[in-house]
């Protein structure tokens, strides 16, 4: 099954030119052991289960799904904040799954992360200058022209006033704080940025400012992004390729056009139809999913989505579908994929 999924993931990228992927993830799995009660039986939360994808240089990949689908856990494994239970992460041709020590520090210069909560991710007792200079300091890098100059350059890049160097995070609004977090992530000139819900804590009018900034940085610096978000409209705006996750598994991967216009997996379809659409008043024709996401401790048999799927048949609860290519070019894990356009 692993092999099949692997080849399928490979075929999904045929739309992009055949070049070495910057990041390659194969069979990535994360299990968290839990214990119910003091002497209770130990069980396992299957947060991420056999996930495969690739990110090419200069590409933005969106990871979407509901809370608890494993998208944040995946992101954290990519920057090696969490140790994978199984699987392999290859970055720039090097296996980084279990890199340690000085080599890991070196690696983190190339992979940076932007966190969701701009209030919790900046040290309130450090000045902005110190926060943004920290990655340089930790790695013992003295850029030409000095640290201060580089930091001020970075502040300017993200649209902040370089004179804010000596201010503290509490003097900034949410959107400005997120810009500080972005400046910090850019300090080491990374090749890949994992952005974990970078705009979901911001007000609507500020969200657009930050999304535009990220798009501009991507264009100007040729960065690759893994963009984790639950807001499908924001993802559509930022990402060329999108991977949809459900209960720790990848259910569909495709280009923006494939995912948003011809989604093959019923879950992708349901997610899209649940997004409140300003252009359609009154909200009719929604696909209503019943109930909640099942527990990842005891996931359903067969296709994990069959408990909420309106197309589920006997086969779905017996046999787990693998990621297979669809006529439209995307790959999805479904026994009965949808065809046709979204209305």
Partner 1 sequence: MTTSTSPAAAAVDPEAYLQVRDLKVQFPTEDGLVRAVDGVTFSVRRGQTLGIVGESGSGKSVTSMSILGLHNPARTKITGEISIGGKNIVGMKEQQLQRLRGKDVAMIFQDPLSALHPYYKVGAQIAEAYKVHHPSASKKEATTRAVDMLDRVGIPQPQRRANQYPHEFSGGMRQRAMIAMALVNDPALVIADEPTTALDVTVQAQILELLEDLQREFQSAIIMITHDLGVVSQVADDVLVMYAGRPVETGSVEQIMKRPQHPYTWGLLASVPSLHGDATVDLVPIKGNPPSLINLPTGCSFNPRCRYAGQNGNRSFSEVPELRPAGEPGHNVACHMSFETRQRLYAEDIAHAGVAQ
- Which C-beta is closer to partner 1: that of 120 or that of 204? 204
- Which C-beta is closer to partner 1: that of 208 or that of 221? 208
Which of 31, 167, 256, 311 touches partner 1 (CB under 8 A)?
A: 256
Distance separating alpha carbons of residues 126 and 166, to the nearest angstrom? 9
Rounded to 5 degrees, what are φ and ψ at 44?
A: -130, 130
- Which C-beta is closer to partner 1: that of 79 or that of 309? 309
Nearest Cα to Cα of residue 210 among 231, 191, 190, 189: 231
| 242 contributes a contact to partner 1 by CB under 8 A | no
Distance separating alpha carbons of residues 315 and 320, to the nearest angstrom? 9
- Which C-beta is closer to partner 1: that of 126 or that of 237? 237
Convert residues 177-206 into a mask of x (bound to partner 1 by CB under 8 A) and - (unbound).
--------------------------xxxx
Task: Kindly state the number of chain residues that form the binding site for partner 1, as judged by CB under 8 A.
Answer: 44
Alpha-carbon distances, residue 256 vs 2, 219, 243, 325, 336 (angstroms): 25, 17, 10, 16, 21
By CB under 8 A, the residues from 202 to 231 that bind partner 1 are 203-209, 211-212, 215, 230-231
Which of 161, 280, 310, 341 touches partner 1 (CB under 8 A)?
A: 280
Q: Report, in angstroms and rounded to the nearest whole number, the Rg of the chain calculated over CA atoms.
A: 21
By CB under 8 A, the residues from 94 to 133 that bind partner 1 are none
By CB under 8 A, the residues from 282 to 321 that bind partner 1 are 282-283, 286, 288-289, 291-293
| 66 contributes a contact to partner 1 by CB under 8 A | yes
Least separation in angstroms between CB 13 and partner 1: 20
Least separation in angstroms between CB 278 and partner 1: 4
Exposure on the CB side of residue 175, measured as CA atoms within 13 A? 14
Which of 277, 298, 319, 341 touches partner 1 (CB under 8 A)?
A: 277
| 176 contributes a contact to partner 1 by CB under 8 A | yes
* Both tokens assigned to 282: 């009154």
- Which C-beta is closer to partner 1: that of 274 or that of 324? 274
| 145 contributes a contact to partner 1 by CB under 8 A | no
Number of H helices, E strands in the chain: 11, 12
Which of 161, 173, 301, 313 touches partner 1 (CB under 8 A)?
A: 173
**Total Cβ atoms within 10 A of residue 219:** 10
Distance separating alpha carbons of residues 291 and 298, to the nearest angstrom? 16
User: What order do you get walking across the sheet with 86-91 strand by strand?
Assistant: 42-55, 23-35, 86-91, 94-95
Convert residues 20-59 into a mask of x (bound to partner 1 by CB under 8 A) and - (unbound).
----------------------------------------
**Total Cβ atoms within 10 A of residue 298:** 11
Given a contact cutoff of 8 angstroms between Cβ atoms, the answer to whether 70 and 47 are in contact is: yes
* Both tokens assigned to 198: 């970078």
Q: Are strands 224-229 and 241-246 parallel, antiparallel or unpaired?
A: unpaired
Residues that bind partner 1 (CB under 8 A): 66-67, 173, 175-176, 203-209, 211-212, 215, 230-234, 236-237, 256, 260, 270-283, 286, 288-289, 291-293
């Amino acid at each position: 099954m692993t092999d099949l999924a692997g080849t399928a993931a490979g075929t999904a990228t045929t739309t992009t030119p055949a070049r070495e992927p910057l990041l390659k993830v194969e069979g990535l799995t994360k299990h968290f052991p839990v214990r119910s009660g003091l002497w209770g039986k130990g069980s396992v939360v299957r947060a991420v289960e056999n996930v495969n994808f690739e990110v090419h240089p200069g590409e933005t990949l969106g990871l979407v799904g509901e809370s608890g689908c494993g998208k944040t856990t995946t992101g954290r494994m990519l920057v090696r904040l969490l140790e994978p239970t199984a699987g392999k992460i290859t970055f720039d041709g090097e296996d980084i799954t279990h890199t340690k020590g000085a080599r890991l520090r070196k690696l983190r210069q190339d992979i940076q992360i932007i966190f969701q909560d701009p209030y919790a991710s900046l040290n309130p007792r450090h000045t902005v200058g110190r926060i943004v200079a920290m990655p340089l300091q930790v790695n013992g890098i003295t850029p030409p022209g000095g640290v201060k100059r580089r930091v001020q350059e970075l502040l300017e890049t993200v649209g902040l006033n370089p004179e804010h160097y000596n201010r503290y995070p509490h003097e900034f609004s949410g959107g400005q704080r997120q810009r500080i977090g972005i400046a910090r992530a850019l300090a080491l000139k990374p090749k890949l940025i994992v952005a974990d819900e970078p705009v979901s804590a911001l007000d609507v009018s500020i969200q657009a400012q930050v999304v535009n900034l990220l798009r501009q940085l991507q264009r100007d610096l040729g960065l690759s992004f893994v963009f984790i978000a639950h807001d499908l409209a924001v993802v559509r705006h930022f990402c060329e390729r999108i991977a949809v996750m459900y209960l720790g598994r990848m259910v569909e991967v495709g280009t923006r056009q494939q995912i948003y216009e011809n989604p093959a997996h019923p879950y992708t379809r349901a997610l899209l139809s649940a997004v409140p659409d300003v252009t359609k008043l009154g909200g009719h024709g929604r696909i209503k999913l019943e109930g909640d996401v099942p527990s990842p401790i005891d996931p359903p048999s067969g296709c994990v989505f069959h408990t909420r799927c309106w197309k589920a048949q006997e086969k779905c609860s017996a046999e787990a579908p693998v990621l297979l290519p669809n006529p439209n070019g995307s790959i999805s894990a479904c026994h009965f994929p949808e065809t046709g356009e979204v209305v």
